[in-house]
Amino acid sequence: MPEPRGDLRPLWYEPGRLILLDQRVLPHEERYLEVRSAEAAFEAIREMAVRGAPLIGVTAAYGVAAEAYWHAGEPDLRQHLQNALRHLAEARPTAVNLRWALERLRRVLEAAPDAEIPARMEAEARRLEQEERERCEAIARHGLALVPEGARILTICNTGRLATPGIGTALGIIYRAFEAGRVRMVYVPETRPWLQGARLTTFELSHAGVPHRLIVDSMAPYLISLGQVDLVIVGADRIARNGDTANKIGTLSLALAARQFGVPFYVAAPLSSFDLSLASGREIPVEERAGDEVRRFQDCATATPEVATLNYAFDITPGDLITGFITEQGLLTPPFDTEEIAR
Ligand code: MRU
């Protein structure tokens, strides 16, 4: 098993090739995938080799840059890339960062002279990556002010260095709060069925030396009821105008328990995760994934193959259960207005 390393990069781009850390085999193996086309980026996103809302946006952008690199000079390049942009947007439905990143590339594509398309696609993807990294730092700065001394923090899924190009969103705040000496304990739910908490978040926290305990998902509300959690901080995949928030399945149970027992519940997310075109969470498409993710874990069958399943990958937490939204622009509360959220 590899040592958890702080320099483990989830992705990097060289002209024509995107190198992705394959998150499906972590923490047991450090394996990399080479992506040279939009189709390969699509597969990597859909099959969860890369995941986390900001990171899948950046992956898709580099997938388009690679596609442009290999097809440079072809007469139908512009149309070819338009098709790739449309296709990539379908890789996963819930995280709006994916569509947001692709929309940025589409605008650059439309404005670019033919000969400059590949270079402009790459430059825009690099800009996106850099901006997401800076957004993480700003989120962590704003979030730090909300973490009390000796905090016991509950989070879910993985929202750190493996979910973003930077230090992360919810986990980025935890890192900065730990450096400031304020974190007593981080509780990490396993996050069935992909176990992003068990495999990725504990991996990151161990490396950083942050005290943490892995718990089963269903224990989290009980832990809150015992008074052992001072605050909950989670990430987001899409936030509607009224604050309703799609995030990893299990988030809603944390929010309900936090409200019941008087614990603050924060969502930490960049503005690229806000979708102000949607009035409420009812309009957010929630991804339903394959039944085998529930019937099995990797090579191990946990139920018989004929068992019927229901596998929503995300849930929607009503905005009024959320104490505040920690963004790069500071702490926001709904209803959001488009001017406030000038992304
Ligand atoms: O299915 P995943 O692993 O892509 O889900 C990830 C989450 O739900 C994260 O909480 C969210 O994307 C925010 S990552 C900064």
Residue-wise pLDDT for 213-223, tens only, equals 999 999 999 99
Atom of ligand 1 at shortest range from CA of 51 = 4
In a domain, 229, yes or no: yes
Å from CA of 274 to ligand 1 middle: 14
- Asked which of 136, 165, 182 is the last residue of a domain, the reply is 136
Residues 258 and 298 both lie in one domain = yes
Closest Cα to residue 250, out of 312, 294, 292?
Answer: 312
Counting Cα atoms < 13 Å in the Cβ hemisphere of 269 gives 32
Based on the domain organization, do 147 and 121 belong to the same domain? no
**Residue 341 resides in a domain:** no
Tell whether 107 and 183 lie within a shared domain.
Answer: no
Based on the fold, state whether residues 313 and 165 are members of the same structural domain: yes
The CATH code of the domain that includes 228 is: 3.40.50.10470
CATH of residue 58's domain is 1.20.120.420
**Which residues is 323 bridged to in the sheet?**
none
Task: Give the closest residue (by CA) to ligand 1 atom 10.
Answer: 235
Residue 4 lies in a domain: no
Given the residues 7, 22, 76, 237, the one annotated as active site: 237
Q: Cα(164) to centroid of ligand 1, in Å?
A: 9
Ligand 1, residues 139, 157, 201: which to mutate, most atoms within 8 A of Cβ? 157
111 and 227 in a single domain? The answer is no
Distance between Cα 74 and ligand 1 center (Å): 37
pLDDT tens for the chain, 343 residues long, are 444 455 679 999 999 999 999 999 999 999 999 999 999 999 999 999 999 999 999 999 999 999 999 999 999 999 999 999 999 999 999 999 999 999 999 999 999 999 999 999 999 999 999 999 999 999 999 999 999 999 999 999 999 999 999 999 999 999 999 999 999 999 999 999 999 999 999 999 999 999 999 999 999 999 999 999 999 999 999 999 999 999 999 999 999 999 999 999 999 999 999 999 999 999 999 999 999 999 998 789 999 999 999 999 999 999 999 999 999 999 999 988 777 675 5
Q: Which of 121, 136, 151 is the last residue of a domain?
A: 136
Task: Tell me, in angstroms, the distance from the centre of ligand 1 to residue 287's CA.
Answer: 12
Residue 171 inside a domain? The answer is: yes
Q: Are residues 57 and 86 in the same domain?
A: yes
Question: Is 38 within 8 Å of 84 (Cβ atoms)?
Answer: yes
Tell me, yes or no, whether 222 lies in a domain: yes
Domain termination residue (choose one: 115, 136, 157)? 136
Give the domain range for residue 174. 141-332
145 and 132, same domain (yes or no): no
Q: Are residues 128 and 147 in the same domain?
A: no
**Is 342 a member of any domain?**
no
Is 338 a domain residue?
no
Let me know: does 56 contact 97? Beta carbons within 8 Å.
Answer: yes
Evaluate whether residue 3 is within a structural domain. Answer: no
- Same domain (yes/no): 152, 117: no
Residue nearest to atom 15 of ligand 1 (CA): 159
Instruction: Assess whether 51 and 196 both reside in one domain.
Output: no
How many domains does the chain fold into? 2
The order of strands in the sheet holding 212-215 is 212-215, 183-189, 151-154, 231-234, 265-268, 324-327, 330-332
Whole-number pLDDT of residue 335: 85
Asked whether 23 and 34 are in contact (CB, 8 A), the reply is: no
**Do 190 and 255 lie in a common domain?**
yes
| 237 noted as active-site residue | yes
pLDDT of residue 337: 75
Indicate which atom in ligand 1 lies nearest the CA of residue 248.
8
Q: What is the pLDDT of residues 309-322, one digit of tens each?
A: 999 999 999 999 99
Give pLDDT tens digits for 141-163.
999 999 999 999 999 999 999 99
> What pTM does this model have?
0.96
Mutation to probe ligand 1, out of 190, 199, 247, 326 (largest number of atoms < 8 A from CB): 247
**What is the model's pLDDT at position 256?**
98
* Residue 54 CB less than 6 A away from ligand 1: yes
Q: What is the Å distance from ligand 1's center to 107 Cα?
A: 26
Angle, CA 52 vertex, CA 46 and CA 56 arms, to 5°? 55
* Judgement on whether residues 155 and 125 belong to the same structural domain of the protein: no
